[in-house]
Structure 1
Amino acid sequence: MNVIVNRVAEFLKRFPPFSFLDKEELFLVAGQVEIHYLEKDQVFFRQGEPARPNFYVLKEGTIHLVESTVTGEEIREVCDEGDVFGVLALLGKRPYLLTAQIIENSLIYAIPVSIFEKILEKNSRVALFFAAGFAAGQVVVRQDLSQGQKARNELRSPSNDHSLLIFTDESSLRISENVLTCAPELTISEAALRMTEAQVSSIVVCNLEHHPLGIVTDKDLRTRVLAKKLDPASPIHLIMTSPVITRKRKENFSNLYLTMIRNQLHHLVLTEDGTDRSEVRGLISDHDIFLSMGNSPAILIHALINAKELSEMRSIRDQAESMLKYYLENEVAMDFVASVMTEINDVIIKKAVKWSQEKLKTDFPDFPEIKFTFLSLGSEGREEQLLRTDLDNAILYEDVPKELQETAKAYFIQLGESVIESLLACGFEPCPAKIMGSNPDWVQPLSGWKEYFTQWIVTPTPEALLKSSIFFDFREVTGSPSLAEELSAHIFEEIRKHKAFLSFLGQNALNSPPPLGFFKDFVVEKSGEHKDQFDIKAKAMMPLTDLARLLILSHEIVGVNNTFHRFQKLAELEPNYADLFTQAGTAYEILMRMRALEGLQQGNNGRFLNPKTLGKLQRQLLKNTFSPIAELQQIVEVRFQLDYFRR
Structure 2
Amino acid sequence: MKNAIAERIHDFLKKFHPFKSIDDENLFTIAQSISVLYLEKNDYLFKVNDETHDFFYVVASGAIGLSITSDSDDVLIDKCDEGDILGLRPFFAKDNYLMNAKAREESIIYAIPIAVFKPIVIKNASVLEFLLQSFASNTRNPLDKKNKGKLLSENVIYDDTSNEIQYYQPIHYTKNPVTASTLDIVRQVAQTMTSKKIGSIIIHENKLPVGILTDKDLRSKIATGLHPIDITIDKIMSSPVITVAENISVVEAQMMMLKHNVAHLCVTKDGTNLSEIKGIISEHDIVVAQANNPGVLLRQTRRAQNTNDLKSIREKVTDLIQNSIDKDIPIYHICSIVGEINIAITKRAIEQAIEKLGTPPPTRFAWLNVGSQGRKEQLLLTDQDNALVFEDVSEAQYDEVKNYFIALADIVTKKLNTIGYEFCPANMMASNPLWCKSVSEWQNQFYSWIHHPGEKGILMCTIFFDYDFVYGDENLMHEITNTILKETHDNQLFYAYLGANALENPAPLGFFRQFLVENDGEHKDTFDIKSRALLPLVDAARILILSVGIRNINNTALRFAKLAEIEPQNAVIYKSCEEAFLELLKFRTEEGLEHNSDGRYLNLKELTKLDKVKLKNDFQPINDIQEVIKNRFKLTYFT
TM bin (shorter chain) = 0.5 to 0.7
Shift of residue 128, structure 1, vs aligned partner:
8.8
Seq. identity, % = 33
**Which of 328, 333, 356 pairs up with 2:330?**
333
Partner Cα separation in structure 2 for residue 310 and residue 25 of structure 1: 47
| Residues 447 and 128 (structure 1), Cα distance of their counterparts in 2 relative to 1, 3 Å cut | farther
Partner letter of residue 553 of structure 1? L
Partner letter of residue 158 of structure 2? L
Partner letter of residue 313 of structure 1? L
**Which of 272, 290, 300 pairs up with 1:303?**
300
**Which of 386, 389, 393 pairs up with 1:400?**
393
Partner Cα separation in structure 2 for residue 92 and residue 293 of structure 1: 13
Where 2:393 maps in the other structure, the secondary structure is: coil
**Which of 20, 24, 40 pairs up with 2:61?**
24
How big is each residue's C-alpha offset from its partner over 1:472-502, in whole Å with a ceiling of 9 and x where there is no partner? Answer: 0111101100011111111101111524322
Give the TM-score taking structure 2 as reference length.
0.65
Contact 1:20–1:158 (8 Å) recurs in 2: no
Partner Cα separation in structure 2 for residue 340 and residue 525 of structure 1: 33
Where 1:376 maps in the other structure, the secondary structure is: strand
Provide the residue aligned with 1:260 in structure 2.
258
Shift of residue 266, structure 1, vs aligned partner:
4.1
1:627 lines up with 2:633 in the alignment: no
Provide the residue aligned with 2:638 in structure 1.
646
Contact 1:449–1:487 (8 Å) recurs in 2: yes
Partner Cα separation in structure 2 for residue 336 and residue 258 of structure 1: 34
Provide the residue aligned with 2:342 in structure 1.
345
Partner letter of residue 470 of structure 2? V
Provide the residue aligned with 2:555 in structure 1.
562
Partner letter of residue 321 of structure 1? T
Provide the residue aligned with 1:479 in structure 2.
472
Partner Cα separation in structure 1 for residue 570 and residue 392 of structure 2: 43
How big is each residue's C-alpha offset from its partner over 1:266-289, in whole Å with a ceiling of 9 and x where there is no partner? Answer: 4599xxxxxxxxxxxxx9974663
How big is each residue's C-alpha offset from its partner over 1:316-335, in whole Å with a ceiling of 9 and x where there is no partner? Answer: 21122122112123221112
Partner Cα separation in structure 1 for residue 616 and residue 336 of structure 2: 26
Where 2:489 maps in the other structure, the secondary structure is: helix
565-574 or 221-230, which moves further after superposition? 221-230
| Residues 552 and 265 (structure 1), Cα distance of their counterparts in 2 relative to 1, 3 Å cut | same
Partner Cα separation in structure 1 for residue 522 and residue 385 of structure 2: 24
Where 1:586 maps in the other structure, the secondary structure is: helix
Provide the residue aligned with 1:196 in structure 2.
none
Where 2:234 maps in the other structure, the secondary structure is: coil
1:164 lines up with 2:158 in the alignment: yes
What are the ranges of 5 or more consecutive residues in structure 2 without an aligned counterpart? Answer: 1-36, 65-71, 73-86, 97-108, 122-126, 139-148, 172-181, 183-200, 204-208, 222-230, 268-279
Partner letter of residue 258 of structure 2? M
Partner Cα separation in structure 1 for residue 258 and residue 601 of structure 2: 49
Shift of residue 382, structure 1, vs aligned partner:
0.3
**Which of 494, 498, 511 pairs up with 1:518?**
511
Partner Cα separation in structure 2 for residue 593 and residue 15 of structure 1: 27
Partner letter of residue 343 of structure 1? E
How big is each residue's C-alpha offset from its partner over 1:429-451, in whole Å with a ceiling of 9 and x where there is no partner? Answer: 11121111111100000001111
The aligned length equals 489
Contact 2:407–2:431 (8 Å) recurs in 1: yes
**Which of 308, 319, 324 pairs up with 2:321?**
324
Partner Cα separation in structure 1 for residue 635 and residue 339 of structure 2: 36
Contact 1:174–1:289 (8 Å) recurs in 2: no
Partner Cα separation in structure 2 for residue 591 and residue 315 of structure 1: 28
**Which of 552, 568, 577 pairs up with 2:545?**
552
Shift of residue 606, structure 1, vs aligned partner:
1.0
328-337 or 380-389, which moves further after superposition? 328-337
How big is each residue's C-alpha offset from its partner over 1:367-395, in whole Å with a ceiling of 9 and x where there is no partner? Answer: 76311001100010001111110111110
**Which of 211, 219, 224 pairs up with 2:212?**
219
Partner Cα separation in structure 1 for residue 465 and residue 452 of structure 2: 15
How big is each residue's C-alpha offset from its partner over 1:161-201, in whole Å with a ceiling of 9 and x where there is no partner? Answer: 95618994322214669xxxxxxxxxx9xxxxxxxxxxxx9
Where 2:366 maps in the other structure, the secondary structure is: strand
Partner Cα separation in structure 1 for residue 153 and residue 582 of structure 2: 19
How big is each residue's C-alpha offset from its partner over 1:503-548, in whole Å with a ceiling of 9 and x where there is no partner? Answer: 3222211111321111211111111111111110000000011111
**Which of 559, 584, 587 pairs up with 1:591?**
584
Partner letter of residue 482 of structure 2? A
Shift of residue 638, structure 1, vs aligned partner:
0.9
Partner Cα separation in structure 1 for residue 210 and residue 377 of structure 2: 46
Partner letter of residue 308 of structure 1? Q
Provide the residue aligned with 1:10 in structure 2.
43
Where 2:299 maps in the other structure, the secondary structure is: helix
Where 1:164 maps in the other structure, the secondary structure is: coil
1:409 lines up with 2:406 in the alignment: no
**Which of 483, 490, 495 pairs up with 1:490?**
483
Contact 1:92–1:261 (8 Å) recurs in 2: no
Partner Cα separation in structure 2 for residue 453 and residue 619 of structure 1: 41
1:228 lines up with 2:220 in the alignment: no
Shift of residue 580, structure 1, vs aligned partner:
2.3
Provide the residue aligned with 1:429 in structure 2.
422
How big is each residue's C-alpha offset from its partner over 1:571-617, in whole Å with a ceiling of 9 and x where there is no partner? Answer: 21122332322221121111111111211222221111111221212
Partner Cα separation in structure 1 for residue 435 and residue 167 of structure 2: 48
Provide the residue aligned with 2:3 in structure 1.
none
Where 1:348 maps in the other structure, the secondary structure is: helix
Partner letter of residue 429 of structure 1? E
Partner Cα separation in structure 2 for residue 368 and residue 452 of structure 1: 23
| Residues 175 and 391 (structure 1), Cα distance of their counterparts in 2 relative to 1, 3 Å cut | closer
| Residues 529 and 454 (structure 1), Cα distance of their counterparts in 2 relative to 1, 3 Å cut | same
Give the TM-score taking structure 1 as reference length.
0.65
Shift of residue 403, structure 1, vs aligned partner:
0.8
Shift of residue 227, structure 1, vs aligned partner:
2.2
| Residues 459 and 309 (structure 1), Cα distance of their counterparts in 2 relative to 1, 3 Å cut | same
**Which of 528, 542, 556 pairs up with 2:535?**
542
| Residues 556 and 262 (structure 1), Cα distance of their counterparts in 2 relative to 1, 3 Å cut | farther
Partner Cα separation in structure 2 for residue 254 and residue 587 of structure 1: 45
How big is each residue's C-alpha offset from its partner over 1:301-359, in whole Å with a ceiling of 9 and x where there is no partner? Answer: 22222222212221221122122112123221112211221122112211111121122
Contact 2:339–2:373 (8 Å) recurs in 1: yes
**Which of 269, 286, 291 pairs up with 1:289?**
286
RMSD: 4.9
Provide the residue aligned with 1:443 in structure 2.
436
Partner Cα separation in structure 2 for residue 118 and residue 633 of structure 1: 61
Partner Cα separation in structure 2 for residue 262 and residue 172 of structure 1: 23
Contact 1:456–1:468 (8 Å) recurs in 2: yes
Contact 1:92–1:262 (8 Å) recurs in 2: no
How big is each residue's C-alpha offset from its partner over 1:127-161, in whole Å with a ceiling of 9 and x where there is no partner? Answer: 79995899xxxxxxxxxxxxxxxxxxxx9999999
575-584 or 449-458, which moves further after superposition? 575-584
Contact 2:57–2:111 (8 Å) recurs in 1: no
| Residues 348 and 573 (structure 1), Cα distance of their counterparts in 2 relative to 1, 3 Å cut | same
Contact 2:335–2:377 (8 Å) recurs in 1: yes
Partner Cα separation in structure 2 for residue 492 and residue 640 of structure 1: 17
